A and B are shown apart, each in its own frame.
Chain A
Amino acid sequence: MIIILYILIAVFLFIASFWIQTLSAGKTQLSPRFFPQVILLCIIFLNIIWLYQIIKDPEADVVFKKISKEKKIRLTKTIIISLLFGILFNWLGAIPAILLCVLGFLWAWNIRKPLILILFPVGISLGIYLIFSKFLSVRLPMGIFKGLF
């Protein structure tokens, strides 16, 4: 399934490559299309070989290892919190996003001690603020709090 998706994406990109502008007088040099087109053709060709190998011998391919339900849930929560982190980082601002997401991560990774759940996110947020914002002068996003501080 993944291979077919990979081939389809490569085919789409190959077709899209024909929309890349080229120099009309540039007959003496390789056009900007040439290199990506060669790579995409190679990717398509090698994926077809891979697909053929799997059809010929399905056991030769890597089989997804089964993981326990608990770990599956932990992974799903980690992915969701990471994506939320990306959204909140810009919208809510870096420090509140770190505070909330570290709390979320700890919860997802089965930490239930109230003291850790309170102190750790606060400590990390404060540490990041001091190191990156104050010491390294990185302009962290302020999000909806822009203008308040």
Chain B
Amino acid sequence: MFDNFLMGLYSILQPINLFSVLVGVVSGITIGALPGLSATMGAAILLPFTFVMEPIPAIAMLSALYCGATYGGSISAILINTPGTPAAAVTTLDGYELAKKGKAGKALGASVIASGIGGLFSVLVLMLVAPQLAKIAITFAAPEYFALAIFGLSMVVNIKSGNELKNIIGGLTGLFLATVGMDRLTGFSRFAFGNVHLLSGINFIPVMIGLFAATEVFRLAETWDKSEIIETDFSDLLPKISEILPLKWSILRSAIIGTFIGILPAEGGTVAAFISYNEAKRWSKHPEKFGTGILEGVTAPETANNAATGGAMIPTLTLGIPGSSTTAVILGGLMIQGLRPGPLLFVQQPNFIWSIFVAMAIANIFFLFAGLFGVKIFAQVTRIPINILAPIIMVLCVIGSYALHNNIADVWIMLIAGLMGSLFRKIGFSPVPIVLGMVLGELIEVSLRQTMIIFDNNLSIFFTRPYSAVFLSLAILSVLWPFIRKSFKKR
């Protein structure tokens, strides 16, 4: 492991790779600090820039952006009471209260320290767990992959931003979209209706750019108002050791919660931050002080949402199942580079894998410094008017979709996805299940059909093989869990 780490470190210390990490972190903090622009959207609009890059700098940049944006969300949450990313929503509760008391600098300092610790903790877990998980996953055959993908998809039921039924419909819609085009096993056309562009299928990258970035432009068009900024004192950025030390157990607990939540497919930093905040409040000797402006109310969610970044990379890299919406974009980036995420990647490309691990660790260290010494500059980002940013985002959406295959059809797919995403959001759908369905669709169908061919249409095989039985049981539990929870609450 140590040899692999050194190999990854050596690779990432190459100037081009280090520069990519730096670009990723700076763009991430900037995007994260801008209210309304999420890490996923940042990754989606940065994706086209990676098309011509080598795999290591490309994925290192996207991963660094993920870390930077997750931290960056806390800047606007603290300064203007508007979370830069959904994961920073809980940070507003105490962060903004601290800012109103004239302690914004201290809140920002505590936020960056907690984010850095959370991020580094999760990268450490990623380094320890991912290779072991990959060793197990390498023994998987078609039935296990089918069961695993079903388990990944089943997690959409628990996504907080939509209701269970709509999340399932969204996931199924994504699965259906994945079937459009030529059938992988027989080569027969499906739902192309004579359209040459549809024959090669609906690529999920333009759909993702549309759902996560173009939809945001439409949403901002109907919601944006001029936001007010409170004047901030940055003179007292570093919290005293006596202020941080009592929070060590809270930070450690949040780091563990964040990493674990991050590992669960489809869950992300937002859920982790909410749970950590509640747990910090529950374990606190002064729960009544939460929401009035205390440092623990900032450090708990910030540690957790950044810890979720490393956690989310575990299923993405080892199993090819995105741990969050941002890692779904990173997964897209991997595929563009011709890499198939999964256990084989650990065997065939250990240098690449360990470079990404190290890149994430360095990204967390970078934003720790950037946050402590450059927060004044990043705070100015919150002043950039959205009406200046909106056209830039739309231009990058169009160019990014086109640059994928130099094909105008992808631009139209992106625009349609953007409009549909806007409509879906209005009727209470989250875009995440649709993307997850599209990402996992091919794996589910192909592995199901391969299993049926290999095991002579014997469905019981899914329940007689241990891993597949475990994954399917977890999937059933995951789907039923919200309904079980509701029935318990009623009692």
Q: Which residues of chain A have C-beta atoms less than 8 A from B394's C-beta?
A: 82, 85, 101, 105
Known: A79-B419, A106-B391. A23 touches B399 (CB 8 A): no
* B-contacting residues, A1-48, CB 8 Å: 2, 13, 16-17, 20-23, 26, 28-30, 32, 34-36, 39-40, 42-43, 46-47
CB B476 to nearest CB in A, in angstroms, measures 15
Interface centre among A2, A13, A20, A94 (most CB of B within 10 A): A20
Q: Which residues of chain B have C-beta atoms less than 8 A from A29's C-beta?
A: 185, 449, 452-453
Excluding A34-B449, A35-B449, A85-B398, 14 further A-B contacts by CB distance (< 8 Å) are A28-B453, A28-B457, A32-B183, A35-B448, A67-B222, A67-B223, A71-B221, A82-B218, A86-B411, A89-B408, A101-B391, A109-B221, A124-B395, A136-B48
Bound Cα distance from A69 to B449, whole angstroms: 52
- Nearest chain A residue, comparing its CB with the CB of B411: A86
Residues of chain A at the chain B interface (Cβ within 8 Å)? 2, 13, 16-17, 20-23, 26, 28-30, 32, 34-36, 39-40, 42-43, 46-47, 49-50, 53, 61-62, 64, 67, 71-72, 74-75, 77-79, 82-83, 85-86, 89-90, 94, 98, 101-102, 105-106, 108-111, 116, 120, 124, 128, 131-132, 136-141
Tell yes or no: B172 within 8 A of A by CB.
yes
Q: Which residues of chain B have C-beta atoms less than 8 A from A16's C-beta?
A: 191, 193
Tell yes or no: B138 within 8 A of A by CB.
no
A2 engages B423 (CB within 8 Å): yes
B188 engages A75 (CB within 8 Å): no
Bound Cα distance from A64 to B191, whole angstroms: 32
Interface of B is mostly: helix
A30 engages B452 (CB within 8 Å): yes
Would you give the 0/1 interface string for B173-197, flagging 1 where the beta carbon is closer than 8 Å to chain A? 1011001000101101111010000
B408 engages A90 (CB within 8 Å): yes
Q: A32 is contacted by which of B173, B186, B444 (Cβ under 8 Å)?
A: B186
CB B176 to nearest CB in A, in angstroms, measures 5
* A-contacting residues, B377-428, CB 8 Å: 386-388, 390-392, 394-395, 398-399, 402-403, 406, 408, 411-412, 415, 418-419, 423, 426-428
Q: Which residues of chain B have C-beta atoms less than 8 A from A43's C-beta?
A: 169, 172-173, 176
A36 engages B387 (CB within 8 Å): no
Tell yes or no: B445 within 8 A of A by CB.
yes
A36 engages B452 (CB within 8 Å): no
A101 engages B395 (CB within 8 Å): yes
Bound Cα distance from A11 to B408, whole angstroms: 29
B222 engages A74 (CB within 8 Å): yes
CB A74 to nearest CB in B, in angstroms, measures 5
Known: A82-B214, A106-B387, A106-B391. A62 touches B399 (CB 8 A): no
Q: Which residues of chain A have C-beta atoms less than 8 A from B172's C-beta?
A: 39, 42-43, 46
Q: B399 is contacted by which of A67, A106, A138 (Cβ under 8 Å)?
A: A138
Task: Please list 15 pairs of residues, one from A and one from B, whose beta carbons are closer than 8 Å in the complex, sorted by A's number.
Answer: A2-B423, A20-B188, A29-B449, A32-B186, A62-B428, A79-B218, A82-B418, A85-B394, A85-B398, A89-B411, A108-B221, A110-B387, A111-B388, A124-B392, A138-B51
A21 engages B188 (CB within 8 Å): yes
Tell yes or no: B117 within 8 A of A by CB.
no
* A-contacting residues, B413-463, CB 8 Å: 415, 418-419, 423, 426-428, 444-445, 448-449, 452-453, 456-457
Known: A32-B190, A98-B395, A138-B399. A86 touches B412 (CB 8 A): yes
Tell yes or no: B129 within 8 A of A by CB.
no
A120 engages B165 (CB within 8 Å): no
Tell yes or no: B49 within 8 A of A by CB.
yes
Bound Cα distance from A77 to B457, whole angstroms: 54
Would you give the 0/1 interface string for B310-323, flagging 1 where the beta carbon is closer than 8 Å to chain A? 00000000000000
CB A50 to nearest CB in B, in angstroms, measures 6
CB A133 to nearest CB in B, in angstroms, measures 10
Q: Which residues of chain A have C-beta atoms less than 8 A from B166's C-beta?
A: 50
Q: B186 is contacted by which of A23, A116, A140 (Cβ under 8 Å)?
A: A23
A94 engages B188 (CB within 8 Å): no
